[in-house]
Amino acid sequence: MTQIGLPDGVRACLFDLDGVLTPTAKIHAAAWKEMFDSFLRDLDGDGFRPFDVVADYDTYVDGRPRADGVRTFLASRDIELPEGEEDDPPTARTVHGLGNRKNELVLRKIREEGVAPYPGSVHYLEAVRTAGLRTAVVSSSANCKDVVASAGIEHLLDARVDGNTAKERGLRGKPKPDTFLAAADELGVAAGEAVVFEDALVGMDAGREGHFGYVVGVDRVGQADELRRHGADTVVKDLAELIGEQA
């Protein structure tokens, strides 16, 4: 399947959303920073160490389910909070409260800024479907359906496995491969017949642990070497490169 840059025998493509199909990773990173900086300022005063929108985002929250991202980042700062409940208000100083505050910020930013897909990703989705492959979006976000609809790419995706799916089915989030395996199952293919497309290091880990046929790392932020170390078979800056187009 040289025309779409994938090995022979592939039957399905499993795409992460944020940073792969849409530039919403930037929106998520900005929301995490706004939420954590406000929390840390209240905790430590003006001398607080801000959330790093690159290093902290990539290491502790990118690609993880929301509550896991809160826990992982707080643990990096030796901060413990009660878990709270999933419906905690955004003002609650709990893991779920902070997560809900971040989600509130994301939804506001999406409403205000809108979502447009990466043009190269749209071209690639069209190419793989023309080649007869099935497609799915796999995201830890509970807002995946709304983002896909806002981006206008619903018609290019055969299945969706997102944060809501994971909650309903008890699927573990990345770096575990559960959500990608569920998507492959929905498309009726074995893991070895599916390709994972991810920009997050935990997504690479999920692709490797799930024994998928091929893993494509999408490097939007200059971490190509890290993506390879975490299991990428190939790394591109934009999916258009796989079909010989310029990003």
CATH number, position 223: 3.40.50.1000
Mean pLDDT value of segment 173-180: 95
Q: Does residue 246 have a pLDDT over 80?
A: no
Handedness of CA 136, 141, 146, 150 (dihedral sign): negative
Active site residue 18: yes
Give the strands of the sheet with 12-16, arranged side by side. Answer: 159-161, 134-138, 12-16, 194-198, 214-218, 234-236
Mean pLDDT value of segment 218-222: 92
Looking at the fold, whether 132 and 90 belong to one and the same domain comes out as: no
**Percentage of residues of the chain with pLDDT beyond 70:** 98
Looking at the fold, whether 222 and 207 belong to one and the same domain comes out as: yes
Q: Considering 8, 18, 44, 46, which one is annotated as catalytic? A: 18
Mean pLDDT value of segment 153-171: 96
Looking at the fold, whether 96 and 180 belong to one and the same domain comes out as: no
Tally of CA atoms within 13 A in the half-sphere of 221 that contains its CB: 20
The C-alpha angle with vertex 133 and arms to 130 and 134, in degrees rounded to 5, equals: 115
pLDDT band at 186 (very low <50, low <70, confident <90, very high): very high
Looking at the fold, whether 45 and 74 belong to one and the same domain comes out as: yes
* End residue of a domain, out of 88, 113, 138: 113
pLDDT band at 154 (very low <50, low <70, confident <90, very high): very high
**Tens-digit pLDDT profile for residues 17-33:** 999 999 888 888 999 99
Q: What is the pLDDT of residue 99?
A: 96
* End residue of a domain, out of 92, 113, 134: 113
Specify whether the backbone of 238 is left (phi greater than 0), alpha (psi in -120 to 50) or beta.
beta
Looking at the fold, whether 140 and 18 belong to one and the same domain comes out as: yes
Mean pLDDT value of segment 220-240: 95
Looking at the fold, whether 158 and 219 belong to one and the same domain comes out as: yes
What's the domain range around 61?
Answer: 26-113
Q: Does residue 142 have a pLDDT over 80?
A: yes
Q: What is the pLDDT of residue 187?
A: 98
Q: What is the pLDDT of residue 111?
A: 83
Looking at the fold, whether 88 and 191 belong to one and the same domain comes out as: no
Q: Does residue 1 have a pLDDT over 70?
A: no
Active site residue 185: no
Report the domain count for the chain: 2
Looking at the fold, whether 123 and 18 belong to one and the same domain comes out as: yes
CATH code for position 63: 1.10.150
**Tens-digit pLDDT profile for residues 46-71:** 899 999 998 999 899 988 889 999 99
Looking at the fold, whether 100 and 131 belong to one and the same domain comes out as: no
* End residue of a domain, out of 68, 87, 113: 113
**Percentage of residues of the chain with pLDDT beyond 90:** 82
Q: Does residue 2 have a pLDDT over 80?
A: no
**Tens-digit pLDDT profile for residues 106-128:** 888 888 888 899 999 999 999 99
User: What is d(CA 54, CA 89) in angstroms, rounded to the nearest whole number?
Assistant: 27
Do residues 39 and 98 lie in contact, with contact meaning Cβ atoms separated by under 8 Å?
yes
pLDDT band at 247 (very low <50, low <70, confident <90, very high): low
Mean pLDDT value of segment 77-88: 96
- Averaged confidence pLDDT in the chain: 94
Looking at the fold, whether 10 and 131 belong to one and the same domain comes out as: yes
Looking at the fold, whether 15 and 132 belong to one and the same domain comes out as: yes
Looking at the fold, whether 131 and 181 belong to one and the same domain comes out as: yes
